[in-house]
Structure 1
Amino acid sequence: MSGFTLVELVIVIVVMAILGGISVSFIKNSVLAYVNSEAYYELADRADISLRRMSRDIRNALPNSVWVSGGGDYVEFVPIKQGGRYQQDDFDAGSHTLRVLGATVNVDAGDQLVIYNLGITGADVYETANNNVRALNTGANVGSVTFAGNLFPLPSPGSRFYIVNGAVAYVCDVANRRLLMVSNIAIPSAHPANFNGANANVVVEDVTECSFTYTEGVMQHSSVVTAQLTLQKNGGVARLVNLINVVNSP
C-alpha cells in the first residue's frame, strides 16, 4: 500500500494555499463591490431627497428673492406663506388697508406683506431702507390686510400681494460634512445674510462637496438655480446636480 511522499504533501498544501488565496481575493472584491454599491445607492437616495426638498422650497420663493452668496456656499430666498390679489382702488387711494379679492387669508404673528418685489433698489425685500416689505396686523380669515409703515413704492400690475415670514437659506457646511437649512432669517437684512438668531436644521450629512449658482433670467421669465451636491461614505460616492427653475414674475 503506497502513500503520499512529503514532497507531494507539500505540493498539495502549496497548491491549496494558492487556490485559497485566489478565492479569498475574488470573494473580497465581490463583497467590497457589493458594499460600495449599497453605500452608493444609499447616498444617491439621500442626496436626491435633499435636492428634491430644496427644489420644492425654492420654487415657492417670492419672485426675485432668490440670492446666492458670492462663494456659492449658500442660497437664500423668501418662502411664500400665502398670496392673493388686492383691491387696486385701495392702493391708489393710499390706504394702509387693502381688501382681498377672493378667499380670505390668515395673518400670524411676524407675518409681513410684500407687493411687487423686483429685487432692485426701492423694491427689494432685503434692502435695509426703502424696501417693499411691511409688518401686518394679525387676524384669522380676514378679508383685508392692514399694514404698518410707509405706503408701498410701486403697485403690482396684476394687483398681487404675498404674505411672508422671514427668509430661508440652504447652507453648505462642508467643514462638518453637512447641508443645513437655516430658517427664521429676519428681513429686511443686507447680504451676506446674518444667521444670528436663526434656526439651523441638518438636511443631509456625509457632504464632501456642495455649491450653488444662480443664473438670472429676463423679467417675466425663469431664472435657474444650479445645486451641486456630493456625498461620500464607506467607499461610496454620489454626485448629483439639479437645475431649479425660479419664476420671477412678481
Structure 2
Amino acid sequence: MASQSAFLPHARHSVRGFTLVEMVTVILILGILVVGISSFIIFGTRIFVESSSVDQVLSQSRFAVERMTRELRSALPSSVRINSDSLTYQCVEFVPIEASTTYLSMPIAPNATALTGTVILNATDQIKENQYIWIYPLTDSDVYNSARQKRAQIKTFTSLGEPPNPANQVTLTFMASTRFSEASPRQRIYFGSAPVSYCFEKAPSGNELTLKRYTVYGFNVSQPTPAHMSSGILMAQSVANVLSNSADLPLILTPSSLVNNAMVHLQPRFNVNGETFQYRHQVQVINVP
C-alpha cells in the first residue's frame, strides 16, 4: 500500500514596520520637544548672562565708590577741588594724608628761614624722604602752590631716639631753606606724597562715561585735565550721568570754611541691560588745619 505524503503548511513570517503617518507624527512630537527644551535653555542662558552683567557692574561700581569714599575721608584739609568740562570729563583732585602729628619747632614767619624742624612721632614708618609737609592750609592754593609757603619737602629725617632727640621726637631736614607763612593754632602738621584724581570721562565710543583713577603726576597750581596726567587706571564703566546737565553731574563739592567741613556728593548713575541704578553718598572731608 503506497504511503501518502503529508503536506504541512509553511509558517508565515510577518514583517512589521512604521507607516509614514507614524513617522511624521513622531518627528512632529520630537520637534515640539526640541523647540520647547531649546527655548528653555536659551531663556535660562540669557537670564544667567544678564544677571552676570548686572552683578559685574554692581560689584565694579560698589568697589569704585567705596574706594573713592575712603580716600576722600582721609584727604588733606582744603585739598579737594573739582574741574569739569561739560562735554568730556569731570575730575575731583585731593591729597591723601599719609601721617599727621604735632610739631614742636618750625621756621614760621616772622622767624628766619631754616633747613630743619622738629615734630613728635611715635613711629617713623609713615614718613619718608621726598615726602611733603603742610602747615595750616586754608585754601587749595595753599596745598598745590608752593609760593603760598604752606608746603615744604622732606630731604631726610632722624630716627626715633637718635641723639640729640628724645625717643618721641624726629628732626626733619628740608630740601631747601624754608619758612612757613602761618602757624597752626594747634601746631598741627600733615604728611603726604602726591595728589590723586578720580575722573569721569566720556568713553571713546558711545555716550556712557568711564571712571579712572590718576596719580603720580605731580603738583599743579591749576587742576590738570585727564590729558595732562599719567595713564589712568580704569575703576568703573557704564556710567550714565550727563556732563552737560548740571543736575545730573556725578560729583558736587560743597567747599569748606572756617566753621564747616568740606562735603563731596558722589552721585554716579550706572546703566546695564537697560536698567539704571544710582549711588548717593555724602563724604565729609574734615577741616582741621
Across the aligned residues of Structure 1 and Structure 2, the Cα RMSD in angstroms comes to: 3.5
**Is it true that 1:187 corresponds to 2:219 in the alignment?**
yes
Specify whether residues 188 and 87 from structure 1 end up closer, same or farther in structure 2 by C-alpha distance, changes over 3 A only: farther
- 2:106 and 2:33 map into 1 onto residues whose CA distance is 90
Which has a greater percent of strand? 1
The answer (yes or no) to whether the contact 1:48–1:240 under 8 Å persists in 2 is: no
**Is it true that 1:52 corresponds to 2:48 in the alignment?**
no
Alignment partner of 2:284 out of 222, 245, 248: 245
Pairwise CA distance, 1:80: 1.4
Structure 1 partner of 2:252: 213
- Cα-to-partner distance string for 1:175-224 (whole Å, 9 max, x where unaligned): 2575322112322421245764x543524354444633323355343512
Specify whether residues 188 and 151 from structure 1 end up closer, same or farther in structure 2 by C-alpha distance, changes over 3 A only: farther
- 2:104 and 2:44 map into 1 onto residues whose CA distance is 69
- Cα-to-partner distance string for 1:132-160 (whole Å, 9 max, x where unaligned): 22223322436133444552222212111
- 2:266 and 2:119 map into 1 onto residues whose CA distance is 36
Alignment partner of 1:20 out of 25, 34, 41: 34
- For normalisation by structure 1, the TM-score amounts to 0.77
Q: Secondary structure at the match of 2:56?
A: helix
Q: What is the aligned residue count?
A: 245
Structure 2 partner of 1:94: 111
Specify whether residues 229 and 202 from structure 1 end up closer, same or farther in structure 2 by C-alpha distance, changes over 3 A only: farther
The answer (yes or no) to whether the contact 2:214–2:231 under 8 Å persists in 1 is: yes
Alignment partner of 2:148 out of 130, 137, 141: 130
1:122-201 equivalent positions in 2, closer than 5 A: 124-127=142-145, 129-130=147-148, 132-141=150-159, 143-147=170-174, 148=176, 151-175=179-203, 178-193=210-225, 196=228, 199-201=230-232
Specify whether residues 16 and 194 from structure 1 end up closer, same or farther in structure 2 by C-alpha distance, changes over 3 A only: closer
> What fraction of aligned residue pairs are identical, expressed as a percent?
25
**Could you say which structure has the greater relative contact order, defined with CA pairs below 8 angstroms and 6 or more residues apart?**
1
Structure 2 partner of 1:85: 102
The answer (yes or no) to whether the contact 1:128–1:190 under 8 Å persists in 2 is: no
Question: Which structure has the larger Rg over C-alpha atoms?
Answer: 2
Pairwise CA distance, 1:110: 2.7
- For normalisation by structure 2, the TM-score amounts to 0.68
- 1:144 and 1:194 map into 2 onto residues whose CA distance is 38
Structure 1 partner of 2:76: 62
**Is it true that 1:73 corresponds to 2:90 in the alignment?**
yes
- Structure 1: any 5+ residue segments left out of the alignment? none
